[in-house]
Structure 1
C-alpha cells in the first residue's frame, strides 16, 4: 500500500512592492522554512498577521508549501 512521508513544510508570503510602468503590480516574496507539519490554520494565520504587521509593503498572498514523498 502506498503512503505519504512528510519531508518539509514552508510558508511563502507574497508582498505587493509597487507598480511597473504599465500599471501592473510588482510582487516580492519571502519563504520561511521549517514550518511544523501539524500547525493549525489559525496558528499559521496569526503568525502571518504578525509578520505582515512588521513589513512596510502590503501582504498579497500566503501559501503553506508541503513536500511529501510517496512510498510504496
Structure 2
C-alpha cells in the first residue's frame, strides 16, 4: 500500500517593504526551513507573529510548505 512520508517543511513570511511607481506593493519574503511536521496551526501563528513583530516592515502573509515522498 502506498503511503506519504514527510521529508521537510518550510515557513515563508512575506512583508510589504514599499510601493513602486505604479502604486503596487513591493513584497519581500524570508524563508525558514526545518519546520517540524506535527506543529499545530496556532503554534505556527504565534511564531509568525513573534518573528513579524521584529521586522520594521508590515506583515503580509505566511505560508507553510511541506514536501513528502510516496512509498509504493
Into which bin does the TM-score normalised by the smaller protein fall?
over 0.9
Gaps of 5+ in 2: none
CA root-mean-square deviation = 0.6
Aligned length: 72
- Cα distance in structure 2, aligned partners of 1:10 and 1:30: 10
Provide the TM-score with structure 2 as the length reference. 0.97
- What stretches of structure 1 move > 3 A for 4+ residues in a row? none
- Cα distance in structure 1, aligned partners of 2:2 and 2:20: 47
SS at match of 1:31: strand
- Cα distance in structure 2, aligned partners of 1:36 and 1:66: 9
Q: How does 1:15-54 map to 2 (within 5 A)?
A: 15-54=15-54
